[in-house]
């Protein structure tokens, strides 16, 4: 692996760790503590389902980070973006899979802890993320990648996968 690629991996790891630590660990733990929840209830079906959703979300987010590093030669951080438009990996299905993965982690944690405060935090993040994507990220990607990004936007939905209408394709 080249020195440049190693440096990108290190940067991506640092930025992703900071994002995860703040938005998916620190703030949720503070919300749980303020709600009086110190540990999850005994493990049952809802908790197992929630844990599975959280793990799936974490896998999606990790896949996104690796795709940014390998394909885009950059990181998920807006101040250190990929050098090329990333349309492979999870980005083939949804334009913003990292946010979807983070949302799944929070939804899963809310189920595990039976926490309405985590659901409220998730709802707030959904609204803020929608604004960030529409008013900052999409215009920035349009400026950076022009017609390639416009074509990608036509093919891939922002949040939900576009399922093929014809199974023969």
Which residues of the chain are under the pLDDT cut of 50?
A: 167-169
Which pLDDT score, from 0 to 100, does residue 167 have? 47
Which pLDDT score, from 0 to 100, does residue 5 have? 66
Do residues 90 and 159 make contact, with C-beta atoms less than 8 angstroms apart?
no
Which pLDDT score, from 0 to 100, does residue 6 have? 75
pLDDT in tens, 89-136: 999 999 999 999 999 999 999 999 999 999 999 999 999 999 999 999
Which pLDDT score, from 0 to 100, does residue 123 have? 97
Which pLDDT score, from 0 to 100, does residue 10 have? 79
Which pLDDT score, from 0 to 100, does residue 164 have? 57
Which pLDDT score, from 0 to 100, does residue 90 have? 95
């Amino acid at each position: 692996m080249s020195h440049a690629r190693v440096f990108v991996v290190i940067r991506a790891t640092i930025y992703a760790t900071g994002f995860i630590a703040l938005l998916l660990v620190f703030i949720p733990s503070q919300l749980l503590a303020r709600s009086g929840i110190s540990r999850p209830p005994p493990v049952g079906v809802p908790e197992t389902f929630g844990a599975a959703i959280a793990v799936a979300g974490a896998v999606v987010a990790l896949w996104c980070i690796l795709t940014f590093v390998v394909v885009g030669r950059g990181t998920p951080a807006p101040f250190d973006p990929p050098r090329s438009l990333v349309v492979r990996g999870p980005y083939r299905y949804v334009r913003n899979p990292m946010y979807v993965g983070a949302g799944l982690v929070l939804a899963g944690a809310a189920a595990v802890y039976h926490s309405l405060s985590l659901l409220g935090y998730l709802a707030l993040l959904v609204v803020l993320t929608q604004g960030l994507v529409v008013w900052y990220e999409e215009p920035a990607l349009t400026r950076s990648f022009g017609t390639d990004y416009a074509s990608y936007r036509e093919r891939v939905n922002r949040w939900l996968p576009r399922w093929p209408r014809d199974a023969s394709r």
